[in-house]
Structure 1
Amino acid sequence: MNDGVTNHKQLFISLAIGAAVVIGVGIIAVRSCEPSDGALLGSGDGSGVDPEFAIGTGDGVAGEDLVAASDVVDIEEGEPAVPAWQAPDLSLPPVDFDSPLDLSAAELDPERGALVIHRDDGMLIVLTIDPALQEHLEQTVHRYEEPAEAVVAVEPSTGRILAWVGDHSDVSPVDDPAASAYPFAASVFKVVTATALLESGEVNPELVHCVPPSHRTVELEDLSDNSERDSRCVNMTAAMAGSVNAYFARQADRQLPDGSLALWLDRFQFNREFPVPLHVEPSPAEVPEDRLESARMAAGFRHSHLSPLHAALILATIANHGEMMRPAIISEIVDSNGETVYRQTPEVWRVVMEPETAERLVGILSQTTVSGTARRYFDDREGWPESLQVAGKTGTLSNRGIEETSDDPYLVFTWFAGFAPIEAPTISVGAVVYNPERWYIKGSYLAAEAILEHHRNHSP
């Protein structure tokens, strides 16, 4: 690297100068509502069919988790102490987060084969975004009319953001779903719980436990053994693949002492700003003091929210042997004289878990797309490449409880967060769709499109 290349702190001092602020890359437009290319038209008939497995239902009642929108919590400031090796000193660069990059101003530079932003001061910002992947995902979200859709993809080993796509309609509760942490984390939070359980050393993931079969909720009685009710017998892999709420609630209740789950919120970077020149909302989460609510949180009910970027980074951490890389949207900056004044260098943002834990989680998460809640979007999808194995986790959550009424539009947040290929991951995706009672696509469909398109463009 030549003398003209500055470090990232010097870079962002120069980036702080400027004004234009426009969030997001999607332009709201009239879109086709015709289902095609594997999309599914759902209906909210209240039939009690699990929407993760149902074909053509979007009732959101018998899914993985049901949550009231009123359960959004305010997060108090505070950072649990962690050993220094788990928290490298990577202070946020001096970015003016009130003036994020205007991604809608990005255009393709054919010579560089990259998306770039031309600044008024003559600087050329070269983005990390993959132009072909970005275009494909923009076309995908514009094709289907949903209240809101978003998908963010990152490269696990570098933190480079490969895609940043979001779109919304007039009934969306947010203006920028790609940057928003409005949706509940849902059962994606089971990944955090599984990590905590494995690192506790108190849980054998191969050991089979029998729990109640219900998907609807977790009650206090579900935390105690009952041979008459405990008819679903699973190990951690099967529990993750099937998103078995009672398994994770009961294991967390027994094996995670008070305060330990809060430590894992800190390690996974909940309640923190993201060090990128984009206005990404922190993902709020707080462990309840109540025993039952704490167990419910561990199973993915309530008390945690997630942005697509954060979801992608959590799964990228597992793909990257337990290290969460500092996310990056800028590849390089070229000044008005054509000199490169900044070039992105991968940095570890947080060592989250031991490499051995990450390796075990790869195996545990691999069955979600083979025999679990996302199988028909991946392994069962016609034409899916046999060599393209995906690890990940689904999540399904309504914005209100079973008996709750509200004037707000009924929505179900459907998630998929995962990475591929399993043997050497090159992409990690966080995708969420805000589904109404009648829906066209889910988050798993968006994620599958991202992974498949990336595979088409980059496989040998």
Structure 2
Amino acid sequence: MRRWIVVGIAALLVAVTLPYLRSEAAPDLGLAKLAFGDPGPVGTTKRKVVPEALHKVDLAKIDVRGEVATAPAWGERTASLTVIPKYQRAANRLLREGAVAEGAIVMTDIKTGRVLVWSSYSAEAPLRDIASEAFAPAASIFKIVTGSALMENGLTPSTRECYRGGKSRIDDSDLLRDERRDKWCATLSEAMGRSLNVVFARHALDHLEKEELESIATRYGWGRDIPFDVPIEKSRYEFPEEANELAKVAAGFWHTTLSPFQGAFMATTIANGGEAVQLYIVDKVKDRDGDIYVGPTERHVLGRAVEEKTARAVTEMMEATVEKGTSFTTFHDRAGRAYLKETRVAGKTGTLEGKGYLFTWWVGFAPADDPQIALSVLVANRGDWRVKGTQVASDMLRVYFADKGVKGVTDPTGGSK
């Protein structure tokens, strides 16, 4: 009898402690390994000055008239930037000639984290650094977060779901499966490409807890102070406790905001196989006595945001946006010929109305199979509009790859001299 009591106690101890042992052995891909708490710049201070070297670098006033892009800083200091003047001029032109109310374009070098374009535009004064602001709703860009969370929960890009409704809104009734009424079916790749709201909402309802969605969102920078050379407004998120409302957020309906900077940060992270790399834009700062700050000379890794296989799967899903989804018409001519026929592109569009604006996003990178640049575009239109974010993104990628001499690619701006 005593022996059975001892065996029972031992079994109970194993049952109680095993979850903790498993937890200890599990790989930590979460917040602890992402050094978002690190102090911003990773360059070298040449001389100690007060205030610090990067104080009040004003990226709303970037000057690209010379061979090197510059921005004013505190007092008589000048910051030399990593921005490429001809790309910056092209970006400025695309926003200006697109007659947008407000907009921003951020383009980064995938491997180094250097910012190649930092363009903000507003049709009304005063000048603002819109690229650093997180006032716009994230809209369907948040499907990248949800897609990543679903991949880490065992789903694949080929996971299939039949659905109905949800084109511009989701009703609770849309979340209930009905074999007679669910006449359309799509894989997760197709759902990402065509931005199918109900497919994402149903999968989130079935597979994701609030904490899982929040974990991925914060690893991509939501609600975090992402290290950078200048202050960046933190994106906001609010995840409802009610399951159906959380599913709607997972599909991109309200409760989240995003800055163009963070869009580029997220795209750069996915393009780097899930590894978060610190972005930087300041190459040097000098005053009357010479250099006081020199930017980083090597890549600085913040940590791993998602598993490499997750990043690969999300990339595959994002490629569907350009191949056969919401960006098809802007990345192809009327005959269906790709403007970037030799280049695979991974991207995601987002569209949402609010605050008197029609907000349109494009976030992604190229080439998808050997990434060079990440791109984040926000366009905010009022009333009649001329361009959306996906059109500006297509043109900006054409500017870059035409400059790189990729066969068959033309610059839609004519070179923006």
Q: Counterpart amino acid of 2:313? A: R
1:389 paired residue number:
344
Answer yes or no: is the 8 Å Cα contact 2:278–2:300 preserved in 1. yes
TM-score (ref. length: structure 2): 0.80
User: Could you tell me how far 1:316 is from its partner in structure 2?
Assistant: 1.4
Give 1:291's match in structure 2, choosing from 214, 237, 243.
Answer: 243
Q: CA deviation at 1:93?
A: 3.4
Q: Residues 35-434 of structure 1: matches in 2 within 5 Å?
A: 83=30, 86-88=33-35, 91-93=38-40, 99-103=55-59, 106-108=62-64, 113-117=67-71, 125-170=79-124, 175-201=128-154, 203-333=155-285, 342-344=294-296, 345-380=298-333, 384-399=339-354, 410-434=356-380
- Asked if structure 1 preserves the Cα contact closer than 8 Å seen for 2:77 and 2:288, the reply is yes
Structure 1 pair 91/101, CA: closer, same or farther in 2 (3 Å)? same
Work out whether residues 30 and 219 of structure 2, in 8 Å CA contact, stay in contact via their aligned partners in 1: no
Return the letter of the residue paired with 2:346: A
- Aligned amino acid, residue 157 of structure 2: P
Find the aligned partners of 1:328 and 1:92 in 2 and give their Cα distance.
13
Query: Aligned equivalents of 2:137 and 2:295: distance in 1?
Result: 35
CA 1:103 to 1:302, structure 2 compared with 1: closer, same or farther past 3 Å?
closer
Aligned-partner Cα distance in 2 for 1:415–1:253: 25
Partner residue in 2 for 1:449: 395
Cα-to-partner distance string for 1:403-455 (whole Å, 9 max, x where unaligned)? xxxxx6x3210111111112221111111111223101101112112211111
Can you list the C-alpha shifts for 1:309-349, whole angstroms capped at 9, x where unaligned? 11111111111110121110112446766668524132112
Amino acid at match of 1:134: Q
Against the structure 1 CA distance between its residues 165 and 234, is the aligned structure 2 distance closer, same or farther, given a 3 Å change threshold? same
**Aligned match of 2:9:** none
- Structure 1 residue 169 displacement after superposition: 2.5
State the alpha-carbon separation in 1 of the partners of residues 53 and 328 from structure 2: 39
Deviation, 1:364, is 1.2
Q: Which amino acid aligns with 1:115?
A: A
Per-residue deviation, 1:206: 1.2
What code does the residue aligned with 2:141 have?
A: V
Instruction: Name the structure with the higher helix share.
Output: 2
Please tell me whether the aligned partners of residues 150 and 204 of structure 2 are also in contact (alpha carbons under 8 angstroms). Answer: yes
Query: What is the rounded CA distance, in whole Å, between the counterparts of 1:355 and 1:125 in structure 2?
Result: 36
CA contact (8 A) 2:29 2:307 kept: no
| Cα-to-partner distance string for 1:43-90 (whole Å, 9 max, x where unaligned) | xxxxxxxxxxxxxxxxxxxxxxxxxxxxxxxxxxxxxx9657632475
Deviation at 1:104, TM superposition (A): 5.2
Q: Which amino acid in 2 is paired with 1:157?
A: K
TM-superposition CA deviations, 1:85-105 (whole Å, max 9, x none): 632475123897994312355
Letter in 1 for 2:315: V
Q: Would you say how many aligned residue pairs link Structure 1 and Structure 2?
A: 367
Which sections of structure 1, spanning at least 5 residues, go unmatched?
A: 1-80, 400-407
Secondary structure at the residue paired with 2:311?
helix
- The change in CA–CA distance for 1:260 and 1:458 in structure 2 (over 3 A counts) is same
- Deviation per CA, 1:247-285: give whole Å up to 9, x if none: 110001110124211111211111122322324211111
Alignment of 1:12-31 (within 5 A): none
Q: 1:389 to 1:205 in 2, by over 3 A?
A: closer
How far apart, in 2, do the equivalents of 1:212 and 1:89 lie?
A: 40
Alignment of 1:438 onto 2:391: no
Does the Cα contact within 8 Å between 1:90 and 1:349 map onto a contact in 2? no
